[in-house]
Amino acid sequence: MLLDENKSQSGSQGWQPKIIAFFCNWCTYTAADLAGVSRIKHAPNARVIRVMCSGRVDPQFILDSFAKGADGVLVGGCHPGDCHYQEGNYKCLRRFQLFKRVVESFGINKDRLRLEWISASEGDKVRLVINDMVAKVKALGPLSLPKKFSEWDKEMNIIEEKIAGKEEAVHA
């Protein structure tokens, strides 16, 4: 079963996607501040979590975000060669390439996970990236994994009960 299947769009009336954004302190977080200072308006759907370096972004953070209800995850770091810590962004990229395939294999659409290099001077790129990602995630609809998980749990419980009932009948 694909995690990203939306059987009906009916529950998504007036729905706004929530995107968790892990931004590195030195480039992308600063760029998001610059966007603010320059009053560059963009979609209000991203929630930024500041980390010192994109290399700090543990793939589990991303999985955890999806599992707890994020509709998209954005990771922002310094451009290759510009990392404040020399090569943390490269370590992030290496991990990300592999991890993206894992996420896709779970059936989560690849547009829900994105890695971008945004330097401290690229306030406008923050706008472009967030707006573009929000548009793409909106088109996909809600991911709402917590809801799906609880539904599957219920189905599993029913199945387990049925099996248990049959076993009891056999023993009887």
Partner 1 sequence: MSKTTGNTRTGFYICHCGTNIAGTVDVEKVVDYVSKLPNVVVAKHYKYMCSDPGQEMIQKDIRDQNLNRLVVAACSPFLHERTFRNVASQAGLNQFFFQMVNTREQNAWVHLDALASTEKAIDLARSAIFRVAFHKPLEQKKVPIHPGVLVVGGGIAGIHASLTLANAGKKVFLVEREPTIGGHMAMFDKTFPTLDCAACILTPKMSSVKNHPNITMWTYSEIESVDGYVGNFKVNVKKKPRYIIEDLCVGCLDCIDACVYKEPRFFDEFNQGLSKRKPVYIPFPQATPQLVVIDPETCIDFKSNKCKKTCVDVCERKAIDLNQQPEHKEIEVGTIIVATGFKPFDASGVPYYGYGVYPNVYTALEVERLINASGPTSGEVVMRDGSRPEKIAIIHCVGSRDKNTNLWCSRVCCLYSLKLAHLLKEHTHADIYNFYIDIRTPGKMMEEFYYRMAEEGTKFIRGRVADIYPDLTDEVHRRLIVKAEDTLISEIIKVPVDMVVLSTGLEPRADANDVRRMFNITCSTEGFFIERHPKLAPVNTFTDGIFLAGCCQGPKDIPDTVAQAGAAAAEALALIDSGFIELEPNTAFVVEVDCSGCKSCVPLCPYSAISYQEDKKKAYINEALCKGCGTCVASCPSGSIKQNLFEDEEIYSEIDGILNYTNIYEVSECC
List of residues contacting partner 1 (CB under 8 A): 16, 18, 20, 26-27, 30, 32-33, 35-37, 39-42, 44-45, 47-53, 55-59, 61, 64-65, 68-70, 81-82, 84-88, 91-92, 95, 119-122, 127, 146
Instruction: Kindly state the smallest distance separating residue 165's Cβ from partner 1, in Å.
Output: 29
Nearer to partner 1, 45 or 109 (CB): 45
Which residue number, 44 or 169, has a Cβ lying nearer to partner 1? 44
Which residues, including other chains, have CB under 8 Å from residue 21's CB and lie 6 or more apart?
A: 46, 47, 48, 49, 73, 74, 75, 76, 130
Query: How many CB atoms sit inside 10 A of residue 103's CB?
Result: 21
Shortest CB 10 distance to partner 1, Å: 22
Find out whether 84 and 27 touch, Cβ atoms under 8 Å. Answer: yes
Residue number, 4 or 35, with CB nearest to partner 1: 35
115 DSSP assignment? E
User: How far apart are CB 46 and partner 1 at their closest, in Å?
Assistant: 9
Q: In the beta sheet, which residues pair with residue 49?
A: 22
Closest by alpha carbon to 72, among 146, 147, 140? Answer: 140
| Shortest distance (Å) from residue 26 CB to partner 1 | 6
For the bound state, the minimum distance from the C-beta of residue 155 to partner 1, rounded and expressed in Å, comes to 19
Residue number with CB closer to partner 1 (32 or 137): 32
By beta-carbon proximity to partner 1, the closer residue of 92 and 133 is: 92
Structure tokens at 92: 């992030």
| Among candidate residues 43, 17, 15, 27, the one with its CA nearest the CA of residue 109 | 17
Please list the residues that pair with 117 across neighbouring strands.
77
